[in-house]
Amino acid sequence: MADVATANPTEIKPGDHAAYIKLALFLAMKSPPKPTNYRVGAVLVNATTNEILSTGYTLELPGNTHAEQCCFEKLAATHAIDAKKLSEVLPDEVALYTTMEPCSVRLSGNLPCVDRILGIGKKIKTVYVGVQEPEKFVSNNSGRGRVERAGIEFVHVAGLEKEILEVATAGHVTEKDS
């Protein structure tokens, strides 16, 4: 994972989806390992200009925050608006890159990431993911289906699944640990 550790967002070429997933993985590594959540990274990109609008990772902000939530809340803060009003400031062609399929259920009672994505409206055109959410915490995550039914393209970017799951599950107790 050496190339992930040196992810440089200024060198990512337009359409290099694997590089954006690597950047999201680099961000996920900043999340503290815990047995109760996945370490996920997210990158929000203006698909027209290739400008990174915001980034986030699990537990970056106070509370039980997910990567996409942190990404959206940080962007909203830069515009001094509520995250529910992001559609007012986002460009028309936005892509979201996340290491793991956005959640459709939050056990903590927080708003699921899919609801946050759909709440932004039609600005996010594509969600690129590195892996689907494992069924450890929530069975049958409907994130992909809900995103697609809303008319947002859902694209699996293959090639980093092993690395993403290693980072995502750091801190989890395995059967051999117990």
What would the mean pLDDT of 107-135 be, rounded to a whole number? 87
Judge whether 104 lies within some domain. Answer: yes
Q: Residue for token digits 């915490």?
A: 137
Residue 51, classified by CB atoms within 10 Å of its CB into exposed (0-12), middle (13-18) or buried (19+), is exposed
Per the structure, the count of domains in the chain is 1
Token pair in block for residue 88: 């007012």
Judge whether 81 lies within some domain. Answer: yes
What would the mean pLDDT of 138-155 be, rounded to a whole number? 83
pLDDT in tens, 19-73: 999 999 999 999 999 888 899 999 999 999 999 999 999 999 998 899 999 999 9
Q: Could you say which of 11, 51, 60, 68 is catalytic?
A: 68
The residue range of the domain holding 102 is 20-161
Domain of residue 104, CATH code: 3.40.140.10
pLDDT in tens, 124-141: 999 999 998 765 555 566
Judge whether 47 lies within some domain. Answer: yes
**Sheet hosting strand 94-100, strand order edge to edge:** 51-57, 41-46, 94-100, 124-131, 153-156
What would the mean pLDDT of 152-176 be, rounded to a whole number? 88
Predicted model pTM: 0.90
Contact 24, 12 (CB under 8 A): no
Residue 24 CA, chain-centre distance (Å), reads 7
pLDDT grade for 173, boundaries at 50, 70 and 90 = confident
Judge whether 175 lies within some domain. Answer: no
Q: Of 167, 125, 159, which is closest to residue 21 (Cα–Cα)?
A: 159
Judge whether 99 lies within some domain. Answer: yes
Whether pLDDT at 107 is above 80? no
Whether pLDDT at 10 is above 90? no
Judge whether 4 lies within some domain. Answer: no
Q: Is 68 a catalytic residue?
A: yes
Judge whether 15 lies within some domain. Answer: no
Judge whether 172 lies within some domain. Answer: no
